[in-house]
Structure 1
């Protein structure tokens, strides 16, 4: 847990150094954090919010009640570890097959964890396996090892890991295809979602594999092409962008649902706007509520559409930190008091099967 807490604390300290006009110190701090060296930053208490008792109003069939004493969903379905390799390398992954699976074509959700997390941690925090068991979905969690990144971040800021059929995008797409080949998956209902660095990688996959993923969920992440190295990654996380960035990013070709806390001090809320660059308010749908979720935190939902007709939802969680909204405190970087991001994402996904 020291690495988990220390990494994001180091990001905050680096931001402070930038504000003090000391970019050299900020760059050195992020370099040491990613290399696993100590940065001697005391962790803030707010990173692990205490679980609050929140009444959640059902919306459709996606209502989910969370308690700390829930039986582990892994006891109901089958959660196993597997491995995949291609020319870009090798990655392990955890695969959740729901207890009701009988070989009929089902949706597949690819879940990409954030820095310092792993598949078990991310599954516990998002409780996506619980929803998958209730609604008949397979979930796969690719695992980023420390050998690929000292803090287990997906390398969204490296050019070699931003292109189709190269680097980490090819590995994640390969895992997706392997699961589709080994199980009965509806090819029109394959989705990808992620948190933080995992959210940034989900945005890359949405751009580079629109024929594979029908929709994507980006929580507290960044737009594809936001950075090309560590210094530009740090600048992007602070809410800046390098010259010409707006020309590089085209609207996503697959539907998007984006969550971001407006009190996120790790990845600035402006990055959510960058992900949705090119989208505008969908006047035909703006009057319809996104859901009936009630949470302790206030939130705003905007329904958007691109010039090509691609749909999107933008959830701003007011006062929320860098954490999965509505998640369980059994996992790291969760905000149990927020609206249920997992349920909202699954609802959005299943409403948007691939059209071609």
Structure 2
């Protein structure tokens, strides 16, 4: 079975490079389907926390399809149609005086739609901006609801931008974090996300020194890439349930790194040389992206800061019904440069989120509020 799977992964990787995602998926599913068993028929599952609504198939294909989604390879039914469909966007509540607007950015690498939340207290002064990158099968509206970031923008007076991945670029709406062509400055998806960021900065009065990027899962991995490739554009990065920049270079290595079998390659890790303030959240019970990936991000962040870090502390606490450990690394002035929240019992979901959005768990520390605190309040104390 091991030799069959290895051969299938190699074949699927080649087919993916040739942009033949449908055949790549069929190759993998044939290798993983027990002899004589036909394709499983998915059934909608009821909403259950901490895992979001999704389609379930019988093992072992169910676990495999989770990996296929993150790699941009949807499972197919007998007719060749995707087993997984993107979730419908929930309703966005916009208070009086605020705005939630649709925009589109076109650049040399293509085009991407995006949404912008402008709080009612915006005024004419320069405001911070947080760029939020959604996960697979999500969209800006879904992610806005699940993360509750708009409510915090209203509370603290910052702008939020939500770039949308195109299903033409990835059938499951995943940012292509594992594709070498989307891991480089001024190329592919990093150039498009940077273009969206600059477009928002051009349309609104944004404080250029307080622009931040954060993401969940595939969006978290792409946020790590944005931090590595555009360190002059972003002041800090938030990575929730994500992977280190350069962790994978193709579909097969994406499977391996998500399962925790390998770490980021030295070649790609060397791209992240500029220090950036980093906050990381990861569920200890995450079965989709192994928690070792958070440790890899922490290790790369420590290397990027080189000798600038001075003191490390670790605290144990409880919030929202979940225990957590929080590692804080400061510089010589005592300013936090790196935070890592490891949350017990949390699966692959945004901690402290709104379950009306997908991949959001209402239990545990409020990841959005803690990111805003780390981005805005801790940064203000540094000045």
Q: TM-score, normalised by structure 1?
A: 0.79
- Which structure 2 residues correspond to residues 240-319 of structure 1 after superposition, within 5 A? 240-241=261-262, 245-246=265-266, 248-250=268-270, 253-278=275-300, 279=302, 284=311, 286=313, 294-304=319-329, 311-319=337-345
Name the SS for the 2:313 alignment partner.
Answer: coil
3-state SS of paired residue (2:319): coil
Contact 1:108 1:189 in 2 (8 A): yes
1:137 and 2:137 correspond:
no
Q: Deviations along 1:15-61, whole A, 9 cap, x unmatched?
A: xx97x98345567699659969986456776864499xxxxxxxxxx
Q: Distance in 2 between matches of 1:233 and 1:306?
A: 33
Segments of 5+ residues of structure 2 without an aligned counterpart are 30-38, 53-90
Q: Which residue of 304, 319, 334 corresponds with 2:360? A: 334
Tell me which structure has the larger Cα radius of gyration: 2
Task: For residues 102-158 of structure 1, give each alpha carbon's deviation from its aligned partner in whole angstroms, at most 9, with x where no partner exists.
Answer: 121000000000000000000000010000011000000000021110000000001
CA contact (8 A) 2:51 2:359 kept: no
2:146 counterpart residue number: 125
Q: Map Cα deviations across residues 40-86 of structure 1 (whole Å, 9 max, x no partner).
A: 456776864499xxxxxxxxxxxxxxxxxxx9542342001000001
1:1-356 counterparts in 2 under 5 A?
22-24=5-7, 40=41, 48-49=49-50, 73-76=93-96, 77-241=98-262, 245-246=265-266, 248-250=268-270, 253-278=275-300, 279=302, 284=311, 286=313, 294-304=319-329, 311-350=337-376, 351-352=378-379
Question: Relative to structure 1, is the Cα distance of residues 48 and 310 closer, same or farther in structure 2, using a 3 angstrom cutoff?
Answer: closer
Cα pair distance change 1:245/1:285, threshold 3 Å:
closer
Number of equivalent positions = 316
Instruction: Please give the alpha-carbon distance, in whole angstroms, between the structure 2 residues aligned to 1:146 and 1:50.
Output: 23
Distance, in Å, in 2 between the alignment partners of 1:267 and 1:92 is 27
- Cα distance in 2 for partners of 1:50, 1:340 equals 17
* Aligned 8 A contact 1:34 1:150 in 2: no
Q: Residues 22 and 302 of structure 1: is their aligned pair in 2 closer, same or farther, counting only changes over 3 Å?
A: same
Contact kept in structure 1, 2:107 and 2:192, CA below 8 Å: yes
Relative to 1, partners in 2 of residues 1:245 and 1:310: Cα closer, same or farther, differing over 3 Å?
Answer: farther
Residue aligned with 2:282, SS: strand
Q: Mark the CA change 1:94 to 1:241 in structure 2 (over 3 Å): closer, same or farther.
A: same
Alpha-carbon contact 2:328-2:336 (below 8 Å) kept: no
Q: RMSD of the TM alignment (CA)?
A: 3.4
CA distance in 2, matches of 1:143, 1:226: 22
Distance in 2 (CA, whole Å) between partners of 1:33 and 1:39 is: 17
- Taking structure 1 as reference, are residues 157 and 315 closer, same or farther at Cα in structure 2, changes over 3 Å only? same
Q: Give the match for residue 34 of structure 2.
A: none
> Deviation of residue 246 (structure 1)?
3.7
Question: Which whole-Å deviations, capped at 9, do the CAs of 1:174-197 have from their partners, x for residues lacking one?
Answer: 110111111100001000000000
